[in-house]
Structure 1
Amino acid sequence: MKKIYTMIVAVMMAAVAFANVSPEMAQKACARTLGVQLPVKARVNAAKKAPKKASADLVTPPATATIESDWIINGSFASSMGSSDEEFATQVAFDGNDVYIQGLAYFFEKAWMKGTLADGKVILPSGQYVGGDDYGDEYMKGSNDGETETDIVFDYDAENHVFTLENYIVENDGSEGIDPWGYWESMTIYKGEIEVPEVVVPPAGLQTEVYTYNAQQLHYDAATQQISYTDYTAQVNVGFDGDDVYMQGLCSYLPEAWIKGTKAGDNYVFAMGQYFGAYYDSYDMFLMGLNEAGTEEGDVVMSYDPEANEFVQLTPLMINALADEVQYYAWYETGSTLNGPVTGVSDINTDSTVARRYVNLAGQESAVPFDGVNIELRIQSDGTTRAVKVVK
C-alpha cells in the first residue's frame, strides 16, 4: 500500500520506535533502517522553489502502446523518514521494444518513465523528468553506489511477467548530480492483485461493557539506547461471545477497530497479525505480541479474572506496521490491565460525545470541519477524547 507523507503522518511516524527490551529484538526491529546508505534530504525542512519545467516534458505512452493496469510495485523506499516497505498497484505499457512504467517516482506517482527492452533487460535512461512542485523539479536517476549516475536497469522475466531492479532508483532534486529526496533500494514489478487483509468484525448484537485500559507505554531512545515508560489510559469496549472476546479501542490511531481473543484455560489468546486497518488509508496497522521468552514475535496473551472483571497482559501488546515482524508504532508493556465495567452494558454503537473539534493536516483547529481531510476530536461525557478521521 502506498504511503503518503503528510505533516500529521510524519509526526506519527517519528514516534515509531525500532527497538525492544532485548538486544535480539532491537536488532530485528531496526533492520528496516539499517539498509539506508544514501544521504537524503527532508522535504519538510527544504526551502521552497518554483518548478521550471513544463508538463509537456513529461513522458507519456503513445497511442500505439498497450497499457496494462494489472501490475504491482513492491519494494523498499528510503527517505528522510527512514526506509519503508511499499506495495501498490501501477500500470505498465508496451509499444514494441519500448516499455513505459508508471509509479517509479514516489512523490509523483502518476508520472511515467520510458525504457527499452533488449536481451532480457529494460534500460531506462537516467535523468527523466517526472514533475515539479513547491520543492522544484524532480528527475529520476540510476546509481550503483549513490555517487555515480547510471541508467536505471531492470531484469525482465517475460514468461512470469516480473521486473526486478538491479540498482538504485534515485528521486533527485534537480537535473544535476545525485541529490536525492529519496530512493528505491529494491523493487519488483509483477502482475497480480494486492491482497487487502480483513478486519475483525464482531458478531451481530454483541453487547459490550466499557473497560478502562491502564498501560505502561514503552519508549526507546535509539541515541542513548535507553528505555522509558509513560502512563497510557483508554476506554475500551469489551464483549464476550462464548469462548471468544472482542475488544474495540486498543488502537489509538484507529479506535473503531476490533481484535478477537479466544479462551485458552484461564487466559485469552489474541492471534498476532490481526488487522486494525490503514491509518489515513496509507499505513497498515496490525496486532503484535511476543513469545513467552520475549525473543520472538508471538500472540498477545491476557489472563482474565471474572470476579474482578479484569484482564492482565501476560505479553506486550503492540500496534505494529507488519503482520509478522516487530516494527511498532506503539508498545504497551506486560502487566497492563483492562478493568471493567465503567458505565455498564451498552450497545457497540453508543456514542457519548458531548463536543467536537476538528484539526486539518496543517494542524489548524476549528469548531467546524475544514475542506478535505480532518481529524475529528470527539470529547466524551467522561472527559476522554476519541480521534476519528473524517473527510468533508
Structure 2
Amino acid sequence: MLRYCRWGTIFSKQASGTGHRSDCSGQEDRIYKGLVSATVEQGTWVKGELSSDGKTITIPTGQNVAWIPSMNCFMEMQVLDYDEPSKTFVIDQSAQSISLSIQGKTITLDGTNEKRILGLVYSDSREWALFGDYSSVYTLFEEQAVDVPQNLVTENYLLKGKNPAQKDFSGKLKIGFQGNDVFIKGLCSNALPEAWVKGVRKENGNLCIPTSQFAGIYNDVYPVFFMAETITGNTVDIHDVVICL
C-alpha cells in the first residue's frame, strides 16, 4: 500500500513496485530509484546504505532528486512534519536520514505517518513542494513478459476495428504459431509496440488470447497489461479475446 501527499491532498492506493527498484553496488551501498512517488517519472536515483544484517536501509536526506528548469532550482528529499499554525509541512532539521526495513521481499518506509512524511522541498526556498510519501510498502514486481521462441516464424496481418470512441482504426500485427500456441505483436501498439501477447488456437481455428497478460513496462515506470472489456451501461465485463482467422 502506497500512501502519499500530492498537491496537499492525501492519497492511499495499491501500487506496484516497478518504480522502486534497487541496485546493489558492493556489500553495503545501494542505490534506489523512485523512492518518493513524485520522482518515479524523473528516473531519479538516491543512494543509501544497507546494514550489515541486511535488514535496514539508511538513506541520507538532502539529496537532489529533480531539476525544475522553470524555477531554476532542485527538488530535494527531506523528512517533513506537519505544522499546524502554517497548515503545511516543514523540514525536520534534525532528521539527517530516513530508514526502511527489509523483511523478505518487502521493504517498508519507517517512522512516517499522515503528519510526518518523506517529501520534497524546493532547494532555494526550502518550502514543501507538495509531494510526500508515508507508511509506504515496496514489493518486488515479478511479472514476466511473454517469452517468444527464437525460431518463431511470423506473418504480417492487418487489424481493423473501432476504438472506445467508436472511430475506425487499423494497425499492423505480427502473428506466429508454434503448435497450438500463437504469439501476436502489435495489440499494445499505443504504449508498447514491441510487446507480445500469447494465446492458443482452438479446434475451430479461432485464436483465444487470455486477458490480464503482462506486456511490459511503459516509459520505465508504468506496468502495462493486455486487457479486453465490454461496457454495458455501468457494467464492465473483462474477458478474453477471440480472433477469428
Q: With the length of structure 2 as denominator, give the TM-score of the two structures.
A: 0.60
Q: Distance in 1 between matches of 2:193 and 2:138?
A: 34
Aligned positions, number: 211
Q: Distance in 2 between matches of 1:203 and 1:122?
A: 40
Choose which of 167, 176, 197 in structure 1 pairs with 2:144: 197
Q: Are positions 1:178 and 2:128 aligned together? A: yes
Q: Distance in 2 between matches of 1:207 and 1:39?
A: 48
User: After the TM superposition, which residues 242-391 of structure 1 pair with which residues of structure 2 at under 5 Å, given as runs?
Assistant: 242-252=179-189, 253-264=191-202, 266=204, 267-290=206-229, 295=236, 297-298=238-239, 300-304=240-244, 309=245
What's 1:315 paired with? none
State the one-letter code of the partner of 1:259. Answer: V
Change (3 A) 1:143 1:303: same
What's 2:11 paired with? none
Deviations, residues 270-298 of structure 1 (Å, cap 9, x unaligned): 12333333344444322123489864644
Q: Distance in 2 between matches of 1:197 and 1:76?
A: 17
Change (3 A) 1:276 1:169: same
Tell me if the contact between 2:109 and 2:134 (Cα under 8 Å) persists in the aligned partners. no
Tell me if the contact between 1:129 and 1:137 (Cα under 8 Å) persists in the aligned partners. no
- Name the SS of the counterpart of 1:233 in structure 2: strand
Q: Distance in 1 between matches of 2:238 and 2:229?
A: 4
Q: With the length of structure 1 as denominator, give the TM-score of the two structures.
A: 0.41
Change (3 A) 1:230 1:148: same
Q: Are positions 1:148 and 2:89 aligned together? A: yes
- Name the SS of the counterpart of 1:237 in structure 2: strand
Q: Distance in 2 between matches of 1:207 and 1:92?
A: 41
What's 1:128 paired with? 62
Of 286-295 and 238-247, deviating more is 286-295
Q: Are positions 1:89 and 2:89 aligned together? A: no
Q: Distance in 1 between matches of 2:136 and 2:103?
A: 17
Consecutive unaligned residues of structure 1, counting only runs of 5 or more, are 1-31, 41-74, 78-83, 219-227, 310-392
| Deviation of 1:130 (Å) | 2.4
Q: Are positions 1:216 and 2:216 aligned together? A: no
Q: Distance in 2 between matches of 1:215 and 1:91?
A: 46
State the one-letter code of the partner of 2:180. Answer: D
- Name the SS of the counterpart of 1:128 in structure 2: coil
State the one-letter code of the partner of 1:260. Answer: K
Deviations, residues 125-168 of structure 1 (Å, cap 9, x unaligned): 8x624267444133222346582334576563679984434333
What's 2:171 paired with? 234
Change (3 A) 1:100 1:271: closer
- Name the SS of the counterpart of 2:20 in structure 1: strand
| Deviation of 1:249 (Å) | 1.8
Q: Distance in 2 between matches of 1:290 and 1:281?
A: 26
Tell me if the contact between 2:44 and 2:66 (Cα under 8 Å) persists in the aligned partners. no
Tell me if the contact between 1:200 and 1:274 (Cα under 8 Å) persists in the aligned partners. no
Q: Distance in 2 between matches of 1:242 and 1:159?
A: 39
Deviations, residues 75-99 of structure 1 (Å, cap 9, x unaligned): 959xxxxxx962311459999xxx9
Deviations, residues 237-270 of structure 1 (Å, cap 9, x unaligned): 2334443333222221433332221134644321
Change (3 A) 1:215 1:270: same
Consecutive unaligned residues of structure 2, counting only runs of 5 or more, are 9-13
